[in-house]
Structure 1
Amino acid sequence: MEELYEHLQDWKGSPDGATVVCYVKGEQCPLPADLAEVALSEKWVKKVSAKASKKPATSGQSDGNDD
């Protein structure tokens, strides 16, 4: 199973050894283990936990600044 990673900068990589993909800073996507190993060692990506990858739910409550 491929893990989810957040891209810390724009970079190019080949997840299958044949196709080059342009990864964009801020994007989150899975990477194959061998490509992730390189990207992590070069600090191009960081691993995202499944919990952190979900957007926080908004409560709909006001912060008191309804100007």
Structure 2
Amino acid sequence: MMTSIVGSMKGFWKDEEGLGTLEMILIIAVLIAVVLLFKEKIQEVVEALIDTAGEKSQKVFE
């Protein structure tokens, strides 16, 4: 009786089914947190890149 309980507890502890899903959820949560923390800086960088691309494309067509 006791060995079957211990055996099932060990099996439950070693069961890794669903672990990949948990890891993906944690990674997504961390990415969202980073984006929210650095939202303003990310916007500045993207706007600077777009402005630079616009200036370079204008030079090509002149």
TM-score by length of 1: 0.22
Question: Computing the radius of gyration over CA atoms, which structure comes out larger, 1 or 2?
Answer: 2
User: TM-score with structure 2 length normalisation?
Assistant: 0.23
Name the structure with the higher strand share.
Answer: 1
- Larger proportion of helix: 2
